[in-house]
Amino acid sequence: MDLKDSITTACQMILRNKVQSFLTMLGIVIGVMAVIIIMSLGASAQEFILGQVKSYGSNMVALLPGKSEESGPPSSAYGLIITSLKNKDGEDILNMKNPHIEGLAMYVKGNDVVSWEDNVKSVTFYGTSSNYPDIENASLEKGRFFDQEEESESVAVLGSKIADELFDNGDPIGKKIRIKKTNFTVVGVFKSKGGNFIQNQDEQIFIPIKTAQNRLLGINYLDFIRIRIDNVENFDYVKEDIASLLRANHDINSADEDDFSIRSVAQAIQTISSITDILKFFLVAVSAISLVVGGFGIMNIMLAIVQQRIKEIGLRKALGANSKDIVWQFLVETVTITFISGVIGIILGISISYGAAQIINLLGYKWTFIVSYDGILIGCLVSILIGLIFGIFPALRASKLDPIDALSYE
């Protein structure tokens, strides 16, 4: 029997035993579908995360409290409260007049309830420096941002979404909002910037750094500093200059004792790419377990099919088919079943990934639908491989049947 006839026979068998074929194919369909979904959504998630980081510009530098290894996250990333970074550090960095530093902004962060009249919202607020709009490339829709002379005053700038929710789409400029026990005069509203997994400006409130520290949080340290430099190529020079200044400020004698971390966006992009790649392929490996389980299911069902077709096998052998022909027939049938299962799994995986991308976009995130061609290729190849591996045992068992015993089998 040639390949075409074997495939035709396999398709006829699938159509003749629909329920049995469906159960045989289900494990492979689910496994391949899971691989496609994970690889597609993983690639889309990686693109989304890197896009958000890149939006800050490769010439952005982050100064964080807590020491870290060169390739690992700083201690503050684990949720530890580290108080080593002070306002004086930021001021001194500006005053050292490094020619490659274009500006910096200092930050503290808190969460509380904000109210205006009867409207009450839970909100994240940032205490920051007066040059925040320049550092973050943020534009105002209404009003203004507070200036350096107001960094101890009770004024606030609202994200577009929190402004609309709090003031029912009215004009908030000049109105007073309340955070904790402090009243703040709204002086500006940012233009909508869209969802951002790092910092969603639209849903946040920005107040002067010293006001946030003294009146709302009761702290004397910073959560982080962001520094914009003229060119990413000058990062190493700027990093060494800042490190020398901070060691002097913190009475540190060597780099081993550093209580701060200096990172560039370019470094973050490289680190995030590595982490997301590892995570993506780990999840693919986990989802591939279902393919192995599906393979065992196919083997069991094919063994049952061999048992049901003993007379057919005996008749074929009596008519001149040899053991090789029988092995070939059952292998082709199994591979056909797994290949069709793989194609169905690929179609379902792409469809679900596309649907997920549309839903995420409706939620306000710029999510790119990416079809992983590697995933499609892997799905097809793995389906065929599973058919060969898990089909060989039933095929060999069928080929070893004695034709006389097979013909007399009841």
Within a domain: 211: yes
As given in the structure block, the two tokens for residue 400 are: 């070893």
Do residues 313 and 306 make contact, with C-beta atoms less than 8 angstroms apart?
yes
From the list 386, 382, 402, the residue with the least C-alpha distance to 326 is 402
Do 200 and 278 lie in one domain? The reply is no
Q: What is the pTM of this model?
A: 0.61
Q: Which domain holds residue 133?
A: 83-258
Within a domain: 208: yes
For residue 376, the model assigns a pLDDT of 78
Do 114 and 223 lie in one domain? The reply is yes
Do 229 and 281 lie in one domain? The reply is no
Measured between alpha carbons, how far is residue 326 from residues 1, 334, 396, 403 in Å?
A: 9, 12, 8, 12
Do 103 and 240 lie in one domain? The reply is yes
For residue 174, the model assigns a pLDDT of 93
Choose the final residue of a domain: 258, 290, 313.
258
Choose the final residue of a domain: 214, 230, 258.
258
Per-residue pLDDT of the chain (410 residues; tens, 9 = 90+): 566 666 676 677 667 666 767 777 777 788 888 888 888 887 777 777 766 655 565 678 888 888 776 655 555 555 667 888 999 999 999 888 888 988 899 999 999 999 988 888 899 999 999 999 988 888 899 999 999 888 889 999 999 999 998 988 788 999 999 998 899 999 999 998 765 555 678 889 999 999 999 999 999 999 999 998 888 788 888 889 999 999 999 998 888 888 888 887 766 666 666 676 777 777 777 766 767 777 776 776 666 666 656 666 566 666 666 667 667 777 777 777 778 888 888 899 889 988 988 888 887 677 788 887 777 777 777 777 777 776 676 666 655 655 555 445 45
Element (H or E) spanning 346, and its range? helix 323-362
Domain count, the chain: 2
Element (H or E) spanning 333, and its range? helix 323-362
Do 109 and 222 lie in one domain? The reply is yes
Do 291 and 246 lie in one domain? The reply is no
Do 117 and 239 lie in one domain? The reply is yes
What does the alpha-carbon distance between residue 204 and residue 108 come to, in Å, rounded to a whole number?
Answer: 13
Q: Report the C-alpha dihedral over residues 351, 354, 359, 365, rounded to 10 degrees.
A: 170
Do 235 and 330 lie in one domain? The reply is no
For residue 406, the model assigns a pLDDT of 45
Q: Rounded to the nearest 5 degrees, what angle is found at the Cα of 32, between the Cα atoms of 346 and 30?
A: 105
Give the bridge partners for 121, in sequence order. Answer: 114
What does the alpha-carbon distance between residue 82 and residue 65 come to, in Å, rounded to a whole number?
Answer: 6
- For 61-92, letters b (16+ CB in 10 Å) and e give bbbbbbbbeeeebbbbeeeeebebbbbebbee
Within a domain: 62: no
What does the alpha-carbon distance between residue 406 and residue 410 come to, in Å, rounded to a whole number?
Answer: 9
Within a domain: 67: no
Please give the full DSSP string across 385-401, using - where no structure is assigned.
HHHHHHHHHHHHHHHT-
Do 197 and 323 lie in one domain? The reply is no
Within a domain: 73: no
Do 201 and 252 lie in one domain? The reply is yes
Do 306 and 232 lie in one domain? The reply is no
Q: Which stretches of 74-194 are assigned E, i.e. beta strand?
A: 101-116, 119-128, 140-143, 155-158, 176-179, 182-190
Within a domain: 61: no
Type of residue at 129: S
Give the bridge partners for 124, in sequence order. Answer: 111, 204
As given in the structure block, the two tokens for residue 35 are: 């691989």
Choose the final residue of a domain: 229, 258, 287.
258
Please give the full DSSP string across 17-55, using - where no structure is assigned.
THHHHHHHHHHHHHHHHHHHHHHHHHHHHHHHHHHHHHT
Residue 128 phi, psi (nearest 5): -150, 175
Within a domain: 265: no
Within a domain: 368: yes
Do 176 and 233 lie in one domain? The reply is yes
